[in-house]
Amino acid sequence: MNAYRRKIQYYETDKMGVTHHSNYIRFMEEARVDFLSQIGWDYDRLESMGIISPVTAVDCRFRSPTTFADEIVIEVTVEEIKGARLKIGYIMKKPDGSVVCKAASEHCFATPDGHLIRLAREYPEFYKALEGFCEKGE
């Protein structure tokens, strides 16, 4: 699995010249979309199957700042998959290995009209793909 790489853009910084904290949520989404694509389950594919995955919680722990033109490497892990819920972990680092941020996002799986989907039963191939990157299964 390839880590997601990204350069900080000037517009993502604040008056102090550091990356505004709100951008890290966006970085998490970019890395998550990339991860799902790498395992063969692009968002387009999921949506065409009638699966949506809204965010239900986010946790970010900032360790050191980033500034314009810094590169970050984001490692994505599946921390937990259970029923209709998925928890994704993110470790964001500078290329020298120093940790910038540790974060997690939680998601549920549902149909577009809001009915929860239990992946193991309703989409076992997708569940198995995610479970293969997880230490805790259902």
Residue 73 lies in a domain: yes
Torsional sign, CA 7, 5, 134, 102: negative
pTM above 0.85, yes or no: yes
| Phi, psi (rounded to 5 degrees) for 51 | -110, 125
Residue 136 in any domain: the answer is: no
Q: How far is CA 70 from CA 14, 29, 122, in A?
A: 14, 19, 42
Query: Does residue 107 fall inside a structural domain?
Result: yes
The answer to whether position 46 is within a domain reads yes
Alpha-carbon distances, residue 138 vs 43, 61, 126 (angstroms): 22, 27, 14
pLDDT digits (tens, 9 = 90+) for 88-130: 999 999 999 999 999 999 999 999 999 999 999 999 999 999 9
Calpha distance 71→59 (Å, rounded): 22
- Which range marks the domain in which residue 50 is found? 4-131
Counting the structural domains of the chain, the total is 1
The confidence band for 1, taking pLDDT boundaries of 50, 70 and 90, is confident
CB contact at 8 A, 105 and 85 = no
* Cross-strand partners of 93: 73, 99
Average pLDDT over residues 11-18: 96
- CATH number of the domain that residue 83 is part of: 3.10.129.10
Task: Please check whether residue 10 lies inside any domain of the structure.
Answer: yes
Residue 138 lies in a domain: no
Q: At 112, list the tokens.
A: 């577009």
77 token code pair: 């892990």
Q: Is the pLDDT of residue 137 over 70?
A: no
